[in-house]
A and B are shown apart, each in its own frame.
Chain A
């Protein structure tokens, strides 16, 4: 379980905190969606949850971040690396830049941790399999598509065998094909019981994989609840988040005064698309 207890975080040199008194719990096997307008604090929350803020970013943090009940404050970043993994929006800048092949790229994290070579190989192959990118193993990571690079980055995290994954808008810089590729991979990981905190503007994507959603606004957690309820609820638009396409379609249908029978069939289709 990954826990944030009343976390307030201010970047170095910033006049105000970017997170105010945020608490959250990410249980094992749970996929928690994190949504909010631009500048709401999604990236900041991801950096705090992964330990990069304040360790690498500097700044000041009050409150506690715990992994499985253990306070992370005394841990160095390399000690956290094997417990919480984080991926970012930009595919290319997450690559180590020193690996000539995807295989070596995925192995980079556990290599740094100094795990024995036989385990290094086992972890690398397991991560490649988990994301179904074994066929890319011998390719040059720099020459892959953005979507493929993002899968490689996530595989590189899995090879660290963290208990929790934090993903900051993993599809933000991808084209529709890349987005679909990463969404399928996330769904696979979610179904496999991974525990994931995923920040996403694309609420359609969250609908399919999240059990719970947390909404933040100006650095504060304002809504926390079941994904289907929050993503289809009326408040989203006011918080600067575009609801899923099906919900927008439903609203447009109501506004256009479509016949009740058509609306009923639309509802049926939407309910079918919702997570259980």
Chain B
């Protein structure tokens, strides 16, 4: 939601304000601002640098020359546009990172199922989340087994690559032959019954969370109208 608002608000001040209110403040309260900053920076640094360089030097409507660097010219219009874009990217990546850091995937899936998403879709989503550690563990077991038989999985990159390639087979084949066994076990436990399942638990949804969601949802059409009517000029 923050993301949509950031795009709609436009200008530089809007997204910046929004990031402060909807990303930075909750992150600081949740004591994860450090991790948020690190993750968001890692995520956006490559894009941010290219946005800055391209717009600063190659903004088509750039007239107001700031400085020259060899054959290229940096323009003030380019800088302004780059900063505005960066503000939006910052808001978007901040919002996504905050969501990722605060929401365990399993809770997200359960909440979606409670709101009516099909149990099968929820199952696939959950199973993939929960299966990754199992795949990693199997890879580790097979690595240990192959190493015990003299296969190189340490040392130089090339030697390691040669060592790891034979692992791909067992890891994948193992999971394919498992599919039939898993299917039988799931069906024997009533998984193919149509209709909703009974959920044992779901993440709590406080009145404050609901309020915050509604404020953000309502803000989207409001901003849309405001921007269309030109009321947002003061933000630029």
Contacts and interface: CB of A to CB of B under 8 A. Distances in A.
B123 A104 contact: no
Interface string A36-76: 00000000000100101001110000000000000000001
A97 B197 contact: no
A113 B126 CA distance: 19
Contacts of B185: 88, 93-96, 153
Contacts of B193: 78, 81, 112-114
Nearest to A93: B181
A160 B123 CA distance: 19
Contact of B198 (A55, A56, A77, A120): A120
Contact of B126 (A88, A98, A112): A98
A191 interface: no
Contacts of B184: 47, 52, 56-57, 86, 88
Interface string A94-106: 1111111001100
Given A52-B187, A78-B190, A93-B181, A111 B199 contact: yes
B146 interface: no
Interface stretch (B3-11, B37-45, B129-137): B129-137
Interface string B111-132: 0000000010001001100110
A6 interface: no
B186 interface: yes
A85 interface: yes
B227 interface: no
A55 B190 CA distance: 13
A98 B130 contact: yes
Interface in B189-212: 189-193, 195-200
B186 A96 contact: yes
A149 to B, nearest CB: 12
A81 B189 CA distance: 6
Given A98-B123, A98-B130, A115 B188 contact: no
Interface residues of A, number: 44
A76 B185 CA distance: 15
Contacts of B130: 97-100, 142
A93 B131 CA distance: 11
A142 B136 CA distance: 12
Interface in A225-240: none
A156 interface: yes
Contacts of B196: 114
A207 interface: no
Nearest to B123: A98
A63 B127 CA distance: 38
Contacts of A104: 200
B106 interface: yes
B35 interface: no
B200 A50 contact: no
A160 to B, nearest CB: 7
Given A52-B184, A77-B192, A116 B198 contact: yes
A50 B184 CA distance: 10
Interface of A: 47, 50, 52, 55-57, 76-78, 81-82, 85-86, 88, 90, 93-100, 103-104, 107-117, 120-121, 124, 142, 153, 156-157, 160
Q: Which 6 A-B pairs have the closest CB atoms?
A: A78-B193, A81-B190, A112-B190, A93-B181, A109-B189, A98-B126
Interface of B: 106, 119, 123, 126-127, 130-131, 133-134, 137, 178, 181-193, 195-200
28 contacts: A50-B188, A52-B187, A52-B188, A56-B184, A76-B192, A77-B187, A78-B190, A81-B187, A81-B190, A81-B193, A82-B190, A86-B184, A90-B181, A93-B178, A93-B182, A94-B185, A95-B185, A96-B189, A98-B127, A98-B130, A103-B200, A109-B190, A111-B200, A112-B189, A117-B200, A120-B198, A120-B200, A142-B133
